[in-house]
Structure 1
């Protein structure tokens, strides 16, 4: 009996080994087997499949996928003041992989859980910045690490009037988030310095090229 397969895991889930078995969109891929490696909170699977190469030959391949669900992120901006509202919080994976202190500057973001993307990002923006977000713009969607992580991240942007605090986050989830209001031009110059979070870089560059701080958006 395997947890998350035959018996419920800690989140009450079963049948986690069914993901991917019924895929038919790519005739060059035939899934043979799916094994649940871990389902402590998120799910790691090992999938064995046949893959047809461009020369017509087939090979058996194996991949592990990490399924944490899909997420959303949002750039909060004030066009007239030319500022953006970002956060700084501790990220252990970055810390253990060489970041000096693990404190990353980011846009507000979070997992969808059971919500649609727009509902989720309104929730996350409020939790991480204290702001009630009004109208939001859906910017684009992206796979952030498609070699191993299944997550699709939904990117949003929305205006804000003013920051209403210095710290936020859900204490019962261990969050301790610093709210940063930065001049947009300053934020751009910090890309590659202390702004090294991919989703944040993507939204800042979008804002400069096509969004509220571009010539088109001005």
Structure 2
């Protein structure tokens, strides 16, 4: 927490001068020219911002079994940045589209993992890459059991999703952060939240 007697940088009076669409082939990439005042001086700056909408993610956990449900899928951007397989182990997630965060994550959970969860809990929101991406991600956790499994999951064929569903001991998932087997930020945040808040009662 920032104390009242600590100095804080004050920025105000942001004025958008121009917005140029650089690409709208998949999502929207904008070049924004703006003025911003900092310590009484107005600066003119240019930044690019990628708008793919907001999203939601969830950690499914089973206290009785001591397991969590994660997924594995191919992520092209990681492949071209040194991830030799291109696959990531991740928590279930998806874009909101026209839904609210809770409806979105219920839908994505069933599509990706095959579990139809009953009670979900929102724990926080976070900007995932605020220097270049507009997205806010809504984070959830939910308990699951085998009776909630209604399909095999795996994602939607018409969206060319090919998702492997993984049920992993919680302690093994935590260890995978240390070994580098889990490098996805949202998944690390959810697993660490579960550990800090003793969700598994371990």
| Superposition TM-score, scaled by structure 2 size | 0.89
CA contact (8 A) 1:167 1:176 kept: no
* 2:30 corresponds to 1:33: no
- 1:203 corresponds in structure 2 to 190
- 1:69 corresponds in structure 2 to 53
Correspondence for 1:42 among 19, 27, 35: 27
Alignment of 1:1-218 (within 5 A): 27-54=12-39, 56-162=40-146, 164=149, 168-192=154-178, 193-213=180-200
- 2:8 corresponds in structure 1 to none
Partner deviation per Cα, 1:92-129 (whole Å, 9 max, x = no partner): 11111110101100010000000000000000001100
Alpha-carbon distance, 1:41 to partner: 2.5
RMSD of Structure 2 on Structure 1 (CA): 1.6
C-alpha separation between the residues in 2 aligned to 1:135 and 1:211? 18
Q: Which runs of 5+ in 2 are unaligned?
A: 1-10
Alpha-carbon distance, 1:169 to partner: 1.3
What's the secondary structure of 1:123's corresponding residue? helix
Alpha-carbon distance, 1:166 to partner: 6.2
CA contact (8 A) 1:166 1:178 kept: no
C-alpha separation between the residues in 2 aligned to 1:211 and 1:118? 23
C-alpha separation between the residues in 2 aligned to 1:168 and 1:144? 24
Alpha-carbon distance, 1:28 to partner: 2.9
The farther-off stretch of 37-46 and 61-70 is 37-46
Q: Which runs of 5+ in 1 are unaligned?
A: 1-25
| Superposition TM-score, scaled by structure 1 size | 0.83
Partner deviation per Cα, 1:168-208 (whole Å, 9 max, x = no partner): 11111111111110000010011041100000000000000
C-alpha separation between the residues in 2 aligned to 1:187 and 1:166? 21
Q: 1:166 to 1:187 in 2, by over 3 A?
A: farther
- Structure 1 or 2: more strand by fraction: 2
Alpha-carbon distance, 1:167 to partner: 5.7
